[in-house]
Structure 1
Amino acid sequence: MDNHRITRRFLLVGSLSLLAGCSSNWQRISFPSLYAGIPGVDPRYRKQHVRFDGNEPAGTILVDTNQRYLYAIEEGGWAMRYGIGVGEEGLTLKGRAVVGRKAEWPAWTPTASMIRRKPELAQYAGGVSGGPHNPLGASALYLYRNGQDTKFRLHGTNAPWTIGHAVSNGCIRLTNDDIVDLYARTPVGTQVLII
């Protein structure tokens, strides 16, 4: 075998080894893009860099449940805007919270109040492991108040056609592509305002 073939083989094997070493990130990166034409995702809810003239400081997340947008506020009057799905009437958390923890491919267990409202959720009372089949999607940001978990999340979804609608049990959902982006730019301790 000549040196050229040996070098190519070494580079290929080395590249595959590097990918295998990042297996948790590999799973996130290889998730199919929701902007690649999946039916039902309204184009106006695609992630956009927009001007922002609100009063919240850079580094804050502002969730506008009426308009169905989440803003990750940046310096200089800009924000990254994401389309969201929100809670059904009366179920959305309002006011201030803080990102108390983060998780990739989080597990999900319906709360007792969810099961009372929707008895069909009782089949999941033991929990659902993380993965593409999980209602929390690729990542979740857990909202806390006064050091306590509110049970409300900013999370991905395995039902991207629900973005722009009021359909959840109160959590704020984004496409999996968008929650992965928001997750990467949001540290624990980030302030969140939901209006």
Structure 2
Amino acid sequence: MHSHTISRRHMMLGASSLAVLALAGCATTTPKVPVTPPSPAIPPEYRAMYAALPNERFPIPAADIHLIDPIYWRQEVTNTTGEKPGTVVVDTPSRLLYWTMEDGRAMRYGVGIGRDGFAWEGRGHVAYGREWPTWTPPSEMIDRQPELEPYRHGMEPALENPLGPRALYIHQGNRDTLYRLHGNMDARSIGQAVSSGCVRLLFQDVIDLYGRVRWGAPIVVVQ
């Protein structure tokens, strides 16, 4: 009788130990996983602003503006530039571009600045623009990047063309400054200083700016 009682006690203790080990095993196989906070919701007006443009010559996808600080989303602001309406102002250090309007207002765009974007400053004018332009890299760029040799005589328009769907060409007097405002599909480049190119805007933004600017409009570039 005594041995039977001890056996039952051992069995109960053994079962309890197994239960504890089982619970311990569950704890070790289900570690806590850090929860990534959701991205801030993009207001519907901005989703519409940067939506796909299927009717362009080359259909444009929606811009990934969740990758960009909202300060660089297109927005109407107070004109703090001191420039008269109808002027393009590029604030290079802030990575912002302004199109000045009536009543003390301005349309502000986020931009990315490349090496060539730091090469010129001052006052000039928008000589002309092109829709879906051909891109011809300068000889100096081809010397730096020999892989561009196939495009010495021009790269045909396309989504991958470095100028994108629109380009504005800046002159000073009768001289081409080689300074350009153009499109770029990589949202991550907006607000950044990138490796090459001049001043780049999201496709949707450069199309909007292109529709506002008149040839001969003054431009001021601040370094």
TM over 0.5: yes
The answer to whether structure 1 residue 187 and structure 2 residue 211 are counterparts is no
Gaps spanning 5+ residues in structure 1: where?
A: 1-24
What CA deviation, in whole Å up to 9, does each residue of 1:40-76 have, x standing for no partner?
3333211010112332111101000000000001112
Report what 1:43 is aligned to: 70
- Report the identity percentage: 43
Q: 1:115 to 1:194 in 2, by over 3 A?
A: same
Matches within 5 A, 1:1-195: 26-27=55-56, 30-34=59-63, 37=64, 40-88=67-115, 91-195=118-222
Please report how far the alpha carbon of residue 29 of structure 1 lies from its aligned counterpart in structure 2 after TM superposition: 9.0
What CA deviation, in whole Å up to 9, does each residue of 1:18-39 have, x standing for no partner?
xxxxxxx9315942221xx366
Q: 1:38 to 1:30 in 2, by over 3 A?
A: same
Q: Distance in 2 between matches of 1:115 and 1:39?
A: 34
- Determine which structure has more spread, i.e. the larger CA radius of gyration: 2
Please report how far the alpha carbon of residue 82 of structure 1 lies from its aligned counterpart in structure 2 after TM superposition: 0.1
Q: Distance in 2 between matches of 1:168 and 1:99?
A: 24
The letter of the residue matching 2:165 is: A
Gaps spanning 5+ residues in structure 2: where?
A: 1-53
Q: Distance in 1 between matches of 2:172 and 2:178?
A: 10
Please report how far the alpha carbon of residue 148 of structure 1 lies from its aligned counterpart in structure 2 after TM superposition: 2.4
Segments ≥4 residues shifted beyond 4 Å: none
Please report how far the alpha carbon of residue 77 of structure 1 lies from its aligned counterpart in structure 2 after TM superposition: 1.5
Give yes or no for contact 1:83–1:163 (8 Å, CA) kept in 2. yes
The letter of the residue matching 1:85 is: G
Q: 1:29 to 1:76 in 2, by over 3 A?
A: farther
Please report how far the alpha carbon of residue 170 of structure 1 lies from its aligned counterpart in structure 2 after TM superposition: 4.5
The letter of the residue matching 2:155 is: V
SS of 1:76 mapped into structure 2: coil
Aligned residues, how many?
A: 169
Give yes or no for contact 1:108–1:127 (8 Å, CA) kept in 2. yes
Q: Distance in 1 between matches of 2:155 and 2:86?
A: 32
In the superposition, the TM-score normalised over structure 2's length comes to 0.69
Q: 1:128 to 1:39 in 2, by over 3 A?
A: farther
